[in-house]
Structure 1
Amino acid sequence: MYIQEHNELGYICTQWPIQPELPTLILIHGAGLNHAQWQAQLEGLRDSANVIALDLPGHSLSAHHEGEQSIAAYSQNIVELMEALALKQAILVGHSMGGAVCLEFATRYPERAQALVLLNTGAKLKVQPALLEQIRDNYPAYVDMMVQNTLTDGAAPEIVEPFADLLHQGDIESVVRDFEACNAFDRLDVLAEIQCPALVLSAELDQMTPPKYGQYLADQLDNSQFVVVEGAAHLSPMEHPDEVNQAITDFIDQLSRTYTRQTATA
């Protein structure tokens, strides 16, 4: 793994320099999280693609980045990183809030979105005011609540402990701004404009973004496929990495076959 930075925007990548013959995945974390949530994807997908796990402004490797924390601004950060890496297109992979960033990116910069992988997310992400109050007033209780509500009952300690540690790494004000950004996000009216291929992955037991959110996305996106990860909850990339990685690998292979056929008939 390689730790890199562009204008105080930090990221982890599996290959350096970027290998032009491979597709490039840009992994975008959820609210209050960071690149560490993607460890299993960085390891499991590295043979199939250039894999980049980005820290959005205010998070972990990008803690000193002074950029605005909003869904629109986050999508602009990704464009800036792609320009720095000379990437014309990329496959964007987003979890929860990261999925919202993917949808915003595809709406604003359609020519740069090769494809989307949308994990446990929706086109509108309403946040209850009580959650924001809890983050500010009792952060340890917020961490306990997130562990309980985003993992399956009886989740293994080797998942629970790293996830709780990851949550504790968050700066409280940055976490609040993330959830405020989610609360302001609503792209229900423009989904039909997104034309790039999309894989929508939902988790059967997800309490935060139930599978009906993913099904709606898949129904509205013209070029999409919908997969439910059985027995998984909201943190499926961490708790069920094999199933998530296999679905993403199959999607990448499908994109490659489609591109090969189109090139052969051009």
Structure 2
Amino acid sequence: MTLKTRQLSEPFGRLCFRSAGSEGSDPLVMLHGVGMQSAAWEPQIDALSQKYTVYALDLPGHGESDPIAAGSQLPEFVDWFLAALDALNLDRVNLVGHSMGALIAGGFAVRYPNRVHRVALLNGVFRRDDQARNSVIARAKLIGAGDFDLETPLQRWFGDSPAERTARDKVAAWLAAVDIDGYATAYGAFAQGDAVYADRFDQITCPLLALTGADDPNSTPEMARAMAATANGQAVVVDNHRHMVNLTDPDTVNAALFQWLKTPTQERSPAHD
């Protein structure tokens, strides 16, 4: 599957993305995590494009997409995504995000509810405790200073099963290829982004899925359940998997996404007044 490009409105530059599926079917847009690229969605593109038109985007400064301004925070990434949808001529979409992509997707669902049919947040973070927040902010500062440690995230994200070793090799290659400045900007926004829209999740009225791995130490099952409860959505926890569950257990993730995509989209009342 070849990369395609679109020119975004100022100041966002070029968007690169992968797409597959039948034109005219329901659009499904996928946003990857920090250090990854649109190819990380390959198992989902292969399965979901059988029924939907799938667009997997390279985040700013990742893959072949142009970088966003240094120091940009989560609201600027949400602005970038709005520009991406407009450039793709997509009005209302089904939206899936992983990790940093989940932060963007959740923020977009809060700010632009009329552009989202459904939202799925995979391995998302939500209201970190003080210890976790201080730890991730410290890592962001190291990355911003040019200290890029490839091995540490791999150790957090993967176990030692054959499926995880295979996925780890792919992820290691993507991390090794990432632009360090784009990575640093995205990681800085990721570190600060878990609470930006959290207090407005009760305003999300479209069907929401929050999915994570039972053994993910940073995007925890408790976070997934809290997101789902706040937005009156559904939480799915995949046993024996960690942060890259879409690669290590794609069958379970794809089944959950297909089920989520069947959820009726009539507006529901927010979880809280």
Deviation at 1:108, TM superposition (A): 1.3
Distance 1:248 1:45 in 2: 8
Q: Does 1:214 align with 2:224?
A: yes
* 1:83 to 1:130, Cα distance in 2 relative to 1, 3 A: closer
Q: Deviations over 1:55-76 (max 9, x none)?
A: 11111120x3455643222222
SS of 1:75's partner is helix
Deviation at 1:82, TM superposition (A): 2.0
- Aligned position for 1:264: none
- Aligned position for 2:212: 202
Q: Does 1:122 align with 2:129?
A: no
* 1:175 to 1:124, Cα distance in 2 relative to 1, 3 A: farther
Which residue identity lines up with residue 57 of structure 1 in the other structure? P
Query: What are the within-5 Å matches in structure 2 for residues 150-161 of structure 1?
Result: 150-156=157-163, 157-161=165-169
- Aligned position for 2:188: 180
Alpha-carbon contact 2:118-2:261 (below 8 Å) kept: no
**Out of 236, 250, 254, which is 1:241 matched to?**
250
Deviation at 1:111, TM superposition (A): 0.4
Q: Deviations over 1:41-98 (max 9, x none)?
A: 1112111211111011111120x34556432222222222222332220011000111
Which residue identity lines up with residue 53 of structure 1 in the other structure? A
Query: What are the within-5 Å matches in structure 2 for residues 139-150 of structure 1?
Result: 139=148, 142-150=149-157
Deviation at 1:133, TM superposition (A): 4.8
- Aligned position for 1:11: 17
* 1:155 to 1:181, Cα distance in 2 relative to 1, 3 A: farther
Alpha-carbon contact 1:48-1:249 (below 8 Å) kept: no
My pick for the range that moved more, 77-86 or 242-251, is: 77-86
Q: Does 1:30 align with 2:33?
A: yes
Alpha-carbon contact 1:14-1:51 (below 8 Å) kept: yes
My pick for the range that moved more, 73-82 or 108-117, is: 73-82
Which residue identity lines up with residue 12 of structure 1 in the other structure? R
Which residue identity lines up with residue 132 of structure 1 in the other structure? A
Query: What are the within-5 Å matches in structure 2 for residues 45-194 of structure 1?
Result: 45-62=48-65, 64-67=66-69, 69-124=72-127, 126=133, 128-135=136-143, 136=145, 138-139=147-148, 142-156=149-163, 157-185=165-193, 186=195, 187-194=197-204
Deviation at 1:150, TM superposition (A): 0.6
SS of 1:231's partner is coil
Number of aligned residue pairs: give it: 250
Q: Does 1:227 align with 2:236?
A: yes
Q: Deviations over 1:161-201 (max 9, x none)?
A: 11100111111122121121012211221111111111111
Deviation at 1:145, TM superposition (A): 1.1
Distance 1:175 1:61 in 2: 13
Which residue identity lines up with residue 52 of structure 1 in the other structure? Y
Which residue identity lines up with residue 74 of structure 1 in the other structure? F
Distance 2:2 2:19 in 1: 5
Alpha-carbon contact 1:201-1:229 (below 8 Å) kept: yes
Which residue identity lines up with residue 220 of structure 1 in the other structure? T
Distance 1:122 1:128 in 2: 11
Distance 1:36 1:2 in 2: 10
Alpha-carbon contact 2:137-2:188 (below 8 Å) kept: no
Normalised by the size of structure 2, how large is the TM-score? 0.85
Root-mean-square deviation over aligned CA pairs: 2.0
Alpha-carbon contact 1:2-1:14 (below 8 Å) kept: no
